[in-house]
Structure 1
């Protein structure tokens, strides 16, 4: 096992680049509503192609995108990677970016909107329960395993942000995944329970009471209550205490916005979220594990904690992108390039 840090070398003019002056990725200008730089705009012979697909999972219609490598031939054999999106994100944002970049490296990839979220079905909207998010990952594996050309012996898993925490949980028992990677892993249970950077330990009981009341109201046929449904001004965003939240609002509301993406989730989901933790039983992961995070990310503590607890595998690495914050791993070219290169080396070795 090892911990490494990459030093990003860039022109002096690039060093000060921040999310505030990022080039916007307008989903309205893309025929597949992809909201990331360099996104596919048309399927062309001999190039990486995107294939919108749908399938049913436990009675819910799931919307997904499959990316196939250049010169894809359904009669040949390819490794495949399942990509799980961040909390509040959709398949057209950072998950799509990494799925496309890995397809450029020769992998068949799939990324799907979580059930009850994005373009996938399910009511009420924006339920965010760990069991559902973990099942979404199993469901993507079910689908891609039957896709023409996929070698099921070479199936990998990549989870980003909240999808990273759920990927760790899914991989504990789903041994179809022969290599597991995360980027900017976010332990949703720990944060919903303890607050970000464990800043809300004194309000756990109060928030559980609110979640219980919301569940009771839903059960009685009342209005569904939502948490994190804030409409903040630029001034309010600037005053947020953490880089993840400040830059997250910029990314999700401005530079890479998508209509399916939202921060809000049903308050009753907290009954499930607050008793869950991505690191519970993490020692069951016995396959190669790569965790990528920014060295300046205020979420780094979650990757470090999970990495230390992942004692079931000796083939593990915590790879830090020098200078990157959490959200910058989603879109800043030098960090994305470095992460993709590391992922390519990792999956190339393990799959």
Structure 2
């Protein structure tokens, strides 16, 4: 059986909570390849990044480390519920800092896998941390693009920034922080709002029901923290800096989060000489979170990809 250990990783002055998984027959005298697994935006390590992909990759022989983003889940950091790209990307670097202190991790064989927004952050981290030797993404979404597009109106980004500026001023003058949800908090709330995009529909089905619901994923976002994301892009400089082997997994059913087109864009822009893209027909964004028929197909290519470029 695989072994799971609760550990912490230091990011600046706080602890990042993580689950370190060790493969069956683990031998501390050996050297293992390791993979950092990153959760979607609004998610936590107990959901798809750790419980699905982290566990499967560990069963395939890798050490995996799935972490909660700083200020979210069981991780420390203040103020709470930030979605700040700079801090999110630094979490990845700190995860590698931890792995390279373990005598049974081969520092030349560390990879990264990110799901949804975690995939965008994983790409950004790999571009500036050369310790990542192979990059895998599952329905990777570019959070910066999402924030700029907003409601898809011509000046969506400007309207978003104006609203954030107004709220920051109010909070500077003593108003309570504005904590909002990433998605509708229930099926009834979604229906009342008339939101029928497949990604939102399935996000509510995943996050607000026993299927995926977890205490570390409370659907809380500090609004003012998103200003930095509007001026950030997950794939910035991919043509220059993303050279590691890359495998991209996307579902063939497009939705509002844009992971289908982001996957195609990433594939086209990445400088990586060895890159591949896997498009699963009739598969949605959230099918690739936990539906066995989808995740098994993704892993059928991800596992050989990592074994080729990292060993096991």
Deviates more, 1:221-230 or 1:241-250: 221-230
Q: 2:37·2:114 contact (CA, 8 Å) conserved in 1?
A: yes
The separation in 2 between residues aligned to 1:143 and 1:218, in whole angstroms, is 36
Alpha-carbon distance change, 179 to 88 in structure 1, aligned in 2, over 3 angstroms? same
Q: 1:160·1:184 contact (CA, 8 Å) conserved in 2?
A: yes
Alpha-carbon distance change, 286 to 266 in structure 1, aligned in 2, over 3 angstroms? same
From 258, 268, 272, the equivalent of 1:308 is 268
The separation in 2 between residues aligned to 1:169 and 1:228, in whole angstroms, is 25
The separation in 1 between residues aligned to 2:208 and 2:168, in whole angstroms, is 29
Q: Mapping of 1:1-351 within 5 angstroms?
A: 47-96=1-50, 97-195=52-150, 199-228=152-181, 232-238=185-191, 239-254=194-209, 255-283=211-239, 284-298=241-255, 299=258, 300-310=260-270, 312-351=271-310
Alpha-carbon distance change, 294 to 231 in structure 1, aligned in 2, over 3 angstroms? closer
CA displacement, residues 124-154 of structure 1 (integer Å, 9 cap, x when unaligned): 2111100011001111111122224111111
Shift of 1:222: 2.9
Secondary structure in structure 2 of the residue aligned to 1:210: helix
Greater than 4 Å deviation, 4+ residue runs: 229-233
List runs of 5+ in structure 1 lacking aligned partners: 1-46
The separation in 2 between residues aligned to 1:143 and 1:118, in whole angstroms, is 19
The separation in 1 between residues aligned to 2:178 and 2:286, in whole angstroms, is 28
Count of matched residue positions in the alignment of Structure 1 and Structure 2 = 302
Shift of 1:95: 0.7
Shift of 1:264: 2.9
Question: Structure 1-normalised TM-score?
Answer: 0.82
List runs of 5+ in structure 2 lacking aligned partners: none
Deviates more, 1:139-148 or 1:157-166: 139-148
Q: 2:20·2:64 contact (CA, 8 Å) conserved in 1?
A: yes
